[in-house]
Amino acid sequence: MDKFTVIPFEPNRIKAIVFDLDNTLVSSDMNFFWLRDELGCPDGIDLLTFTDEIACPNQRADATKKILDHEMEDARSSHPMPGCSSILQYIEQQAMHTAIITRNCFEAASTKVKHNNLNIHRIISREHFAPKPSPDALNSLADEWQLYPNELLYVGDYLYDLQSAINANMPSCLVNHGIEKPFEHQASVVVPHLNDLTRLLTRHNKSNNK
């Protein structure tokens, strides 16, 4: 993506907050280097794309199973990220729309949500729409909720999350866990942890109510 336009983050316009899952809401210890090595995926090629394009049906099925097994193991050992509870409580208090959009498979994503007792019922996985950085899932939610693109904030921890929001003409929030990332300029707003986003939104609401 050589040219892009970052949509400004305007807290007063936000009516929905949608999340990436791994290392955004809950932890993930997925070893993608091991997976790439196991599946023979070259550097610089998206792992899911590589798997989908394996010509031999048996090899493709075997690769898909290895990814699924790794995802399920990761799901069962996951835990909530710092500030996860506070941002979900804020969303509930404000009666905002929310959902998860993840590149995980639906089975693993659902397991993670249940394992961590997350109060989010809408989970969109790679089985439902083209995976990020495609904007299709975000666009679908905006249409369903009848929101303008700048009324939906997408929160994630990786470049694909920011690119997905840009492609959907939506603002994004990058959670960088206190470590500066080379792609931060593609985010509308950057916070160390989810509770920092909660404070930012709460502070804005209080100033508006004065």
Whether 3 is in a domain gets the answer: no
Q: Is the peptide bond before 135 cis (omega within 30 degrees of 0)?
A: no
Residues of the domain holding 47: 32-76
Q: Which residues pair with 124 in a beta bridge?
A: 101
Instruction: State residue 124's pLDDT score.
Output: 97
Helix axes 84-93, 194-208, angle to 10 degrees: 30
Mean pLDDT of all residues in 111-136: 94
Q: What is the pTM of this model?
A: 0.84
Q: Are 57 and 97 within one domain?
A: no
Query: Which of 152, 151, 172 is CA-nearest to residue 160?
Result: 172
Q: Would you say residue 71 lies in a domain?
A: yes
Same domain, yes or no: 58 and 135: no
* 47 and 118 inside one domain: no
Q: Is the pLDDT of residue 2 over 70?
A: no
Q: Please report whether residue 6 resides in a domain.
A: no
Asked if 92 and 72 sit in the same domain, the reply is no
Q: Is residue 200 part of a domain?
A: yes
Share of the chain above pLDDT 70, in %: 97
Query: 152 and 95: one domain?
Result: yes
41 and 20 housed in the same domain = no
Q: Are residues 150 and 187 in the same domain?
A: yes
202 and 175 assigned to the same domain: yes
Residues 85 and 187 in one domain: yes
Number of domains in the chain: 2
pLDDT band at 1 (very low <50, low <70, confident <90, very high): very low
| 56: CATH | 1.10.260
Residue 121 has pLDDT above 60, yes or no: yes
Close Cβ partners of 10 (under 8 Å, ≥ 6 residues apart): 150, 171
Return mean pLDDT, the chain.
91
Where does the pLDDT of residue 208 fall: very low under 50, low under 70, confident under 90, or very high at 90 and above? low
User: Is the separation of the CB atoms in 30 and 71 below 8 Å?
Assistant: yes
Same domain, 72 and 85: no
Q: How confident is the model at residue 126 (pLDDT cuts 50, 70, 90)?
A: confident
pLDDT digits (tens, 9 = 90+) for 71-117: 888 888 899 999 999 999 999 999 999 999 998 889 999 999 999 99
Greater model confidence, 131 or 171 = 171
Instruction: Kindly tell me if the per-residue pLDDT of 202 is higher than 70.
Output: yes
Domain assignment present for 1:
no
Residue written as token pair 């400004």: 8
Same domain, 15 and 109: yes
Residue-wise pLDDT for 13-50, tens only, equals 999 999 999 999 999 887 777 778 878 888 888 888 88
193 shares a domain with 116:
yes
